[in-house]
Structure 1
Amino acid sequence: MAGIAKERGLFIIADETYREIVFTKKKAISFLSLAKVRDNVVLVDSASKRFNMCGARIGCLVSRNKSIMASVLKFSQGRLSSPFLEQLAVMPLLRNSGQFTHHLIHEYRGRRDAVIRGLSGIPGVSAYSPEGAFYVIVGLPVKDADHFCQWMLQKFHYHEQTVMLAPAEGFYVTPGKGKNEVRIAYVLSAPKLSHAMMILRRALEVYIRAVH
């Protein structure tokens, strides 16, 4: 990707908000560390993902390209109503982010494992165990994941419970890609996620009989 950007004079906008949430011994490589495209990279980051502060509109935009940063500075000075309280809240985390993210990684790893274990027992489901972040793309044995997601919310329940899924087709540029896939985020505790995967299995059994 860096080579293509350099060759064709393109910019890489790198969303690296998950780069510290890694479940293996591997280390995420920042695009800003690649010298040959240092002037072609715009990095964006967000405290809401890195520190699990949902709703906190605190982030940053970084580039080694001085022209880009000069333009960004002009734009940022024109903004009003910056989230002052959120800025105060995130300051201690920035001073010692490792202490907090270490616990966060441990928690998300356990949640990921609960989801993958649950999915592995569902016939026809395919999922790669992510090495980072807090979501997984899952292939389902259905033709239209969007229809299945709506059906689960509107017509299915298991003991008055159901599961909300995000259709994954919108995450792709290629037409038709992800048509049978969904995105599952680890936003609940591991026991609740295990229970949700059980409900998903029941839903697929009913849906396949009824629709297919």
Structure 2
Amino acid sequence: MLQLSQRGVALPPSPYRKLTPFAESARQRGIIVHPLNIGQPDIETPPSMLEAVQRASIQVLEYSPTAGYPSYRRKLADYYQRLGLEVDSDDIIVTTGGSEAISFALLACLNPGDEFIVPEPFYGPYSAFAVATGTHVVPITARLEDNFALPPITEFEQKITPRTKAIMICSPNNPTGYVYSRAELEQLKELCLRHNLYLLSDEAYREFCYNTEYTSALNLRGADDHIVLLDTISKRYSACGARIGAIVTKNHALRDVFFKLAQLRVSPPGLGQLLAEAAADLPATYFDHTKTEYLARRDLMLRRLRAMPGVQVPTPSGAFYVICHLPVDDADRFAQWLLEEFSHYGQTLMISPASGFYATPGLGRQQVRLAYVVNQDIISKAMDCLEAALQQYPGREEKQRVAAAEVRETFG
């Protein structure tokens, strides 16, 4: 019998896509499914980005340079410089989405069997990237009651072994929405310097910070060789399908390794780079409306969630996700029940169980991630569904306690 690779078998399912078959089945039954499971914004992609492709005079769609078009890398460097980051175009390798940037970072900075420390809950695919690259995630648990702030640095120290080669963070964080402060990042920088570790910084949501200051890892001084920025235009410009990201470092020996990895896939998407180059020309004010809209959506979702008995939810300070505790026995079971057995006036919602964002077994069992990437009308309808579902769900905590009490009363 043909054998599958151990790597392929070990790959975990996507925490936000694994329920898709159940959602499709619900839609086939005529149920309206409101998608709060995935970070696919409904904000319109800037027309000027699409027009850049439509206007392009292309007779042969050739390979682009391995590192990306020089004109785009120069504009991307200008974008970073406007943010106060000392980035040159030579520091940049254009990647096929942020996913390839993550993969390149693990392949270049770690050997098979090495470890990287990540505060959990974290972006679920990090676990899959670890499997694919033969590396290991070492989680440090951030807690909902602490608003998912960076855990004490002593907990990181305790997890460092001779196999530890990097710390990976995401700020603003997916899935919690937490934004790391400069003080927290300085602590991580000092830790990386003490133990000679890389600091891999996923900054896909930097433009979406609410009532808090954003600090990039590249703002930190004295650690240029240690810092690797992982980036993407997907969420910034509502252009997830363009598949354009970037990996940025001042460590040019490391950059040369990234370049050799990039040669394996020959070139990043050419049409996507045309979109991205047009995006780099957008004024800084472009984000004003988008941030205002996301903030209104966040506040609406928080207001509705906090009105539901038993629901606990901290205030996210960035990105467009919330992690909340639900009064249910098992969030995975609840999420599937929503799609298989529940409807509220012909509607239901799709959510991401938070267990897929933790590496520690058993954590996140009563938590879910919700994405406020849909308009406020849909959020309101989805919250109506969630409120009704929590009242009807057979595995609600209060119902289980009542049932247990009845059993005790009957049998003594």
- TM-score, shorter chain, exceeding 0.5: yes
Using the aligned pairs only, state the percent identity. 40
Partner of 2:329: 143
Deviation string 1:55-85 (CA, Å, 9 cap, x unpaired) is: 2210100011111101011221332463222
Partner of 1:5: 192
2:218 aligns with one of 16, 29, 32: 32
1:6/1:36 contact within 8 Å kept: no
Q: Cα distance 1:209–1:35, how it changes in 2: closer, same or farther (>3 A)?
A: closer
Query: How do residues 42-53 of structure 1 correspond to structure 2 at under 5 angstroms?
Result: 42-53=228-239
Q: For structure 1, which segment, 73-82 or 30-39, has the greater mean C-alpha deviation from structure 2 after superposition?
A: 73-82
Which residue identity lines up with residue 306 of structure 2 in the other structure?
S
Partner of 1:94: 280
The normalised TM-score by structure 1 is 0.93
1:201 aligns with one of 384, 387, 395: 387
2:329/2:395 contact within 8 Å kept: no
**1:166 CA drift (Å):** 0.1
Kindly indicate whether residue 316 of structure 2 is the aligned counterpart of residue 130 of structure 1.
yes
Q: For structure 1, which segment, 1-10 or 72-81, has the greater mean C-alpha deviation from structure 2 after superposition?
A: 72-81
Kindly indicate whether residue 68 of structure 2 is the aligned counterpart of residue 68 of structure 1.
no
Which residue identity lines up with residue 199 of structure 2 in the other structure?
I
Partner of 2:77: none
User: What stretches of structure 1 of length at least 5 have no aligned partner?
Assistant: none
Which residue identity lines up with residue 12 of structure 1 in the other structure?
L
Partner of 1:120: 306
Which residue identity lines up with residue 100 of structure 1 in the other structure?
Y
Secondary structure (helix, strand or coil) at the match of 2:315 reads coil
1:46/1:60 contact within 8 Å kept: yes
**1:100 CA drift (Å):** 2.1
**1:143 CA drift (Å):** 2.3
Question: In 2, Cα distance between the equivalents of 1:81 and 1:61?
Answer: 14
Larger relative contact order, structure 1 or 2 (CA cutoff 8 Å, min sep 6): 2
**1:159 CA drift (Å):** 1.3
Q: Cα distance 1:35–1:160, how it changes in 2: closer, same or farther (>3 A)?
A: same
1:93/1:100 contact within 8 Å kept: no
**1:165 CA drift (Å):** 0.3
Higher helix share: 1
**1:208 CA drift (Å):** 4.3
Question: In 2, Cα distance between the equivalents of 1:139 and 1:36?
Answer: 40
Secondary structure (helix, strand or coil) at the match of 1:177 reads coil
1:137/1:182 contact within 8 Å kept: yes
Kindly indicate whether residue 362 of structure 2 is the aligned counterpart of residue 176 of structure 1.
yes
1:160 aligns with one of 338, 346, 351: 346
Secondary structure (helix, strand or coil) at the match of 2:334 reads helix
**1:5 CA drift (Å):** 1.5
Question: In 2, Cα distance between the equivalents of 1:155 and 1:3?
Answer: 51
**1:151 CA drift (Å):** 0.7
Rg (Cα) greater in structure: 2
User: What stretches of structure 2 of length at least 5 have no aligned partner?
Assistant: 1-187, 401-412
2:207/2:287 contact within 8 Å kept: yes
